[in-house]
A and B are shown apart, each in its own frame.
Chain A
């Protein structure tokens, strides 16, 4: 593993990284299965890509077992910050928020709100018990 920062991952590399973040350390076969569940991919393509990523320092390879186990070299948060460092990317992804709907609003909760939530839930638990 190189001590320098790995370069920004490409879109295809990002997909493999996402699988590794989601599943934890995995073999090439595991990664190929996950990706292949959404679109047809060659096993060798994935293998080649992951070898390149290992060279770039994006992933770490554990060669102790017969089937090499790959692991993301950096945590997700680090890569996210690296990607979001680009103003354009940040603006672009930020602009999607107005159209995304989900359990939480696009607005972040403040520390005070979070504290209030915790006390609310705790009170409720105490009462119901």
Chain B
């Protein structure tokens, strides 16, 4: 991923993109308001002020919108928004069912806009340099007589700033350059060529510009134009400002005793003069000079053009539509990408991450990134299996689902789909089902593995595709997957069930070999640890698998598989007592109560809102236990509070929330910042004053 791409996905870039879209309708609305105001107001100064104000409002709207859309930095937590899996589009094979949306374009608006701004501001800079050069090169001072006339006019306009009058061989028309030390450039020969009265009128006009500080305002206007260059309304407002600026100056000239007719003739002469001077390209017909002169001579205007209001209304409608469409699509697609889940500071190469991790705890240093989806799915799947139903239910529903929508696909593909059912995403499954030809399916399968190949080149060039598509025989992921597959089929198969369909097979394929296996293939005598109730019992055959870490789920996870039917098909349990053959035998059952120690999967859950839910399965029926819980972060800074529950109170109202029935369940109310936490439950026997403490450590990435 290039730097630009990364930047485009950053929060400021997205806020900027959204701001640009918003400013479309904002600007259009302002332009519409201005058009309505202009249709009522006749006075040039008011019209000019209104247009300037409109431009400022659009600019301010842009700033305010950006400020409001810019995400505020509230906590130290790194929230990474994970993008949906995007396939490197290989010859149009649909892997994810992902379609193009306006929202995808949103982040790219910002870089485009910035490039445009750069271009326009460079142009503005060039203009400024050219203007500065014009007042130095090819000029000479005006004759003394005219300088004195100019000073007299300056006094008449009550201006104190000195003004230099120059003749320029480059200027085509009289012009003002500079704000602090203004210069009036007259085309060379104009001073001598026009009647003195007309020259005076033109000089007055230029002086009026200087008095009003128009050069500086025009400079700022050009800068704003460059910032909001993408907006037609800004260009229209700018045109209005320019036209009204001239009208204001015209008014000033006429008010300063110059004959309107003389002045109009001067303007016409100027235009003609320029016309004859050069033979370069012509402008289109229709323009403001005719309007200005009509206005000066107080002639009735031609039929008023309804163009401006119509134009801005059109812009308003179109931009509103675009903005709405763009705004709707991120909203709609929000659920698909919205659950922002705290992810450990991992490299932002989400798109390349395998959709479902086939975690291998032993090779943890292998560069694999966590995906919120895989986290959530794995948790859900584990939870499903762990749910209080018999071990198999979770999986059987999955198989049932598969069968329900079983497709008339040829045998090998259905087999393949079954095989990879633990690592394929729902989207991929649907996409695969929608394929119609074997060719496509083969391509899909190759691409499926390619996606998960940790060594696959990312962003390969199209000409490399054929090589890639032939498949990488060294695809470590694929090799490991089939190794695990073979392993579980060899070891865990039972009478009718192939190894990969058993609970152990499933866990093994998904999470790899455990760090430790404590196998009791014959069951037999078993000393209950104190947290399982103490005492001695006889068990079914069982195995305990310990994983020191399962990414996205937790650390030190112990999974227990029991074979209560002695068929060889071990089922995953959530309750250690399931292996206890004598659990329900009076006098042989647990003497005290049992709590799971450690952090079994699914016991501490962090939901998408970063809220914690702790569930501790307990099995006791005594009523005199007082249970106190607390959750504290590792550094002791965050204390989620304590709660006390007297088990006896639940005897009377067992339905009450938080009551102890099968388990102790506490649900956090506030989102947790990332960090390590310790959940402590103290269970106190109020009759004997004995107490026991249970500790669950967990980490939020």
Contact = CB atoms under 8 A, between A and B. Distances in A.
Interface stretch (B8-16, B65-73, B290-298, B470-478): B290-298
B245 A108 contact: no
A107 B282 CA distance: 9
Interface string B181-200: 00001001101100000000
Contacts of B191: 22
Contacts of B140: 15, 18-19, 22, 34-35, 38
Contact of B134 (A11, A14, A77, A96): A96
A108 B268 contact: no
Nearest to B215: A101
Interface string B244-266: 01100100000000000100111
Contact of A103 (B134, B143, B202): B202
A40 to B, nearest CB: 13
Interface residues on A, range: 35 or more
A15 B139 contact: yes
B637 interface: no
B138 A15 contact: yes
B218 A108 contact: no
Contacts of B128: 99
Nearest to B239: A105
Interface residues on B, range: 35 or more
B130 A109 contact: no
A113 B267 CA distance: 12
Contacts of A80: 169-170, 277-278
Consensus secondary structure, chain A interface: helix
Contacts of B290: 113, 116-117, 120
Given A95-B130, A96-B130, A110-B287, A103 B278 contact: no
Interface stretch (B20-28, B172-180, B648-656): B172-180
A109 B127 CA distance: 22
Contacts of B177: 99-100
Contacts of B483: none
A127 B252 CA distance: 24
B169 A76 contact: yes
A118 to B, nearest CB: 7
B126 A95 contact: yes
A104 to B, nearest CB: 4
B130 A104 contact: no
Consensus secondary structure, chain B interface: helix
Given A79-B169, A102-B209, A113-B287, A120 B294 contact: yes
B206 A102 contact: yes
Given A95-B126, A107-B287, A18 B138 contact: yes
A115 to B, nearest CB: 10
A121 interface: yes
Given A11-B137, A19-B140, A34-B141, A101 B271 contact: no
Interface string B121-149: 00110111111011001111111100000
A22 B185 CA distance: 13
Interface in A83-129: 83, 92-114, 116-118, 120-121, 124-125, 128
A17 interface: yes
B140, B205, B286 — which one has the most chain A CB atoms within 10 A of its CB?
B140
Contact of B188 (A76, A95, A105): A76
A121 B283 contact: no
A104 B289 contact: yes
Contacts, number: 182
Contacts of B249: 103
A45 interface: no
A124 to B, nearest CB: 5
Interface in B457-487: none
Interface in A57-89: 76-77, 79-81, 83
Contact of B270 (A19, A95, A104, A116): A104
Contact of B261 (A15, A108, A112, A125): A125
B169 A17 contact: yes
A3 interface: no
Contacts of B635: none
A18 B287 contact: no
Contacts of B283: 107-110
B124 to A, nearest CB: 8
B131 A100 contact: yes
A42 interface: no
Nearest to B271: A109
B45 interface: no
A100 B167 contact: no
B288 interface: yes
A101 B209 contact: yes
B565 interface: no
A105 B242 contact: yes
B175 A102 contact: yes
A34 B139 CA distance: 11
A21 interface: yes
A76 B187 CA distance: 10
A49 to B, nearest CB: 14
A116 B302 CA distance: 13
B118 to A, nearest CB: 16
Contacts of A107: 283, 287
B192 A113 contact: no
B167 to A, nearest CB: 5
B173 A21 contact: no
Nearest to B166: A38
Contacts of A22: 140, 142-143, 167, 188-189, 191-192
A23 interface: yes
Contact of B289 (A81, A98, A105): A105
B138, B188, B287 — which one has the most chain A CB atoms within 10 A of its CB?
B138
Nearest to B147: A37
A128 B134 CA distance: 41
Given A99-B222, A120-B290, 19 more contacts: A22-B140, A22-B142, A22-B143, A23-B143, A79-B169, A92-B130, A98-B222, A100-B175, A101-B215, A104-B289, A105-B289, A108-B274, A109-B271, A109-B287, A111-B282, A114-B275, A117-B271, A121-B261, A124-B297
10 contacts: A18-B167, A37-B144, A98-B127, A99-B219, A100-B175, A103-B202, A103-B246, A104-B174, A110-B285, A121-B264
Interface of A: 11, 14-15, 17-19, 21-23, 34-35, 37-38, 76-77, 79-81, 83, 92-114, 116-118, 120-121, 124-125, 128
Closest 9 CB pairs of A and B: A96-B130, A102-B175, A100-B175, A96-B131, A104-B173, A109-B271, A117-B268, A18-B140, A19-B140
